[in-house]
Amino acid sequence: MGHMDCKINVVTLDHGKGLPLPKYETSDSAGMDLYAALGEGETITLGPLERALIPTGLAMALPHAYEAQVRPRSGLAAKNGVTVANSPGTIDADYRGEVKVILVNLSNDPFTIERGMRVAQMVIAPVTQGTWVEVENLDETERGTGGFGSTGTH
């Protein structure tokens, strides 16, 4: 079965010019890696617990009822302790600004970001919007109000 297709209009911004568009690395990759669209020779160094907004050089128009999620790359997180501070970041379909990655360094060592580095990944997903139905009582269930570790304790 093929993947759902989602055509996304994209504009490449100046400082990202020359970088490839993000792509799926394998035929079944869920996310496309986002490149740091820093200027030629520009670097950003994150000290321990520091964060920064990393430009991707992309402005896009997702179709109605889609979103994009900015998620960490597991390699960066495991090797360098560098992750996405607001993970998953939410890109709304009506957002026309530059997509940015909020990277945070959770390690004890400084981490330097260079132009073209793959700093995060972006997953395209369909959006469901909920509609409230206000009622007096909720139906009864086996779980009831139990949560936060309530199962398996008796």
Q: Which residues bind ligand DUT (CB under 6 A)?
A: 70, 86, 89-92, 95, 99-100, 102
Shortest distance, position 60 Cβ to ligand DUT, whole Å: 10
Ligand-binding site membership of 107 (annotated): no
Pick between residue 78 and residue 127 the one whose CB is nearest to ligand DUT: 127
Cα separations (Å) of 129 from 3, 70, 87, 100, 110? 22, 19, 20, 24, 40
Shortest distance, position 86 Cβ to ligand DUT, whole Å: 5
Ligand-binding site membership of 87 (annotated): no
153 - beta bridge partners?
Answer: none
Q: Which residue is nearest to ligand DUT (CB)?
A: 89
Neighbouring C-beta atoms of residue 73, cutoff 10 Å: 19
Pick between residue 66 and residue 95 the one whose CB is nearest to ligand DUT: 95
Q: Are 57 and 122 in contact (CB under 8 A)?
A: no
Shortest distance, position 1 Cβ to ligand DUT, whole Å: 30
Phi, psi of 105 (to 5 degrees): -100, 105
Q: Which residue has the tokens 């989602």?
A: 6
Pick between residue 55 and residue 115 the one whose CB is nearest to ligand DUT: 55
Pick between residue 14 and residue 28 the one whose CB is nearest to ligand DUT: 14
Ligand-binding site membership of 90 (annotated): yes
34 - beta bridge partners?
Answer: 120
CA–CA gap between residue 30 and residue 7 (Å, rounded) = 15
* Binding site residue list: 73-75, 86, 90-92
* Binding site residue list for substrate: 73-75, 86, 90-92
